[in-house]
Amino acid sequence: DAGVIQSPRHEVTEMGQEVTLRCKPISGHDYLFWYRQTMMRGLELLIYFNNNVPIDDSGMPEDRFSAKMPNASFSTLKIQPSEPRDSAVYFCASSARTGGITGELFFGEGSRLTVL
């Protein structure tokens, strides 16, 4: 397995534009997480899904952010309209609960977003 795959790796856009980040979790994992990493705030959980259903979206900054998981192998994080303060590295991670032990998170390489 190639691990969690994210695209694009880098995105530079102008304020006001729509940004879509994509994630393919590890096959068989039933949890998917979107995190945002900034120097000021570190790693923040935005939203997570279990079996494609959003469980907790309390970390989504505002209505400009939305996330979907139409099937077990694909998720998107959309920002519309984007603002300079959205500039960050966005990580997708997946996990599976195994044998009653809390699952390890497997992270993608991240999508570095710059909003000018």
Partner 1 sequence: AQRVTQPEKLLSVFKGAPVELKCNYSYSGSPELFWYVQYSRQRLQLLLRHISRESIKGFTADLNKGETSFHLKKPFAQEEDSAMYYCALTRGSTLGRLYFGRGTQLTVWP
Q: How far apart are CA 36 and CA 88, in angstroms?
A: 7
Q: Looking only at residues 52 through 71 of this chain, which bind partner 1 when binding is defined by CB under 8 A? A: 55-56
Answer yes or no whether residue 85 interacts with partner 1 by CB under 8 A: no
**Burial class for 34, CB neighbours closer than 10 Å (0-12, 13-18, 19+):** buried
Among 5, 74, 109, 114, binds partner 1 (CB under 8 A): 109
Measured from the CB atom, the residue of 33 and 65 that comes closer to partner 1 is 33
Residues 15, 18, 37, 114: is their CA dihedral positive or negative? negative
Site string for partner 1, 16-55 (x = CB under 8 A): ---------------x-x-x-----xxxxx--x-x----x
